[in-house]
Amino acid sequence: MNTEFCHEQKRVDRVVETITEQIINLEEETSRRRNEVVNIRKHFWDEVKVNIDTFDDFLETIIGLRQEAQALSVSQSTHKHAAKRLSTLRRMQKVPYFGRIDFVEEGMSTPEQVYIGISTLTDKSGEHFLIYDWRAPISSVYYDYQPGPANYATPGGEIKGILEKKWQYLIRSGDLQSMFDTSLTIGDEILQQVLGKGTDKYMHNIVATIQQEQNRIIRQDRGRLLIVHGAAGSGKTSAALQRIAYLLYKYRDSMNTDQIILFSPNSIFNSYVSNVLPELGEENMQQVTFQEYLDHRLSKEFQVENPYEQLEYILTTKDTPSYKLRVEGIQFKASLRFFEAINSYRQSLEGAGMIFKSIVFRGRSLVSAQQISERFYSSDSSQQFFSRLEKLKDWLLIKINEAEKFEWTKPWVEEEIELLSNEDYHTAYSNLAEKHGFKGEEIADYEIEPEALARWIVHQKLKPLRHRIRSFRFVNMKGIYRQLFADPLNIEKLMEEVPPSEWENICRSTVEMLDEGKLFNEDATPFLLLKELVLGFRTNRSIKHIIVDEAQDYSPFQFEFLKRLFPSARMTVLGDFNQAIFSHAQEMIDFQSLTGLYGPDETEKINMTRSYRSTKTIIEFTRRLIPGGERIIAFEREGEKPVLTQLTDYSKLHHCIASKVEELEKRELNNIAIICKSAEESLSAYEALSGIDNIKLLKSGSIQYEQGVVVIPAYLAKGIEFDAVIIYNASAQVYCDESQLRLFYTACTRAFNTINR
**Binding-site residues from annotation for ATP:** 230-237
Integer Cα distance of 442 and 431 in angstroms = 13
The set of residues, in sequence order, having a beta carbon less than 8 Å from that of 384 and lying 6+ positions away, is none
Q: Is the dihedral of CA 615, 617, 619, 621 positive or negative?
A: negative
Q: Which residues are annotated as a binding site?
A: 230-237
Q: What is the DSSP string of 647-706?
A: -SSHHHHHHHHHHHHHHHHHTT---EEEEESSHHHHHHHHHHTTTSTT-EE--TT--S--
Integer Cα distance of 657 and 688 in angstroms = 10
Q: Contact, 659 vs 647, CB < 8 A?
A: no
Residue 478's DSSP bridge partners are none
Residue 754's DSSP bridge partners are 724
Residue 579 Cα to chain centre, angstroms: 19
The set of residues, in sequence order, having a beta carbon less than 8 Å from that of 464 and lying 6+ positions away, is none
E strand segments, 60-106: 99-105
Q: What is the DSSP string of 536-588?
A: ------S--EEEESSGGGS-HHHHHHHHHHSTT-EEEEEE-GGG--STTGGGG
Q: Mapped to the 3 state alphabet, what secondary structure does 184-215 carry?
A: CCCCHHHHHHHHCCCCCCCCCCCCCCCCHHHH
Nearest to 449 by CA among 467, 429, 477, 479: 429
Helix (H) or strand (E) holding 235: none
Integer Cα distance of 708 and 568 in angstroms = 42
User: Quick count: other Cβ atoms within 10 Å of Cβ 255?
Assistant: 16
Q: Contact, 412 vs 362, CB < 8 A?
A: yes
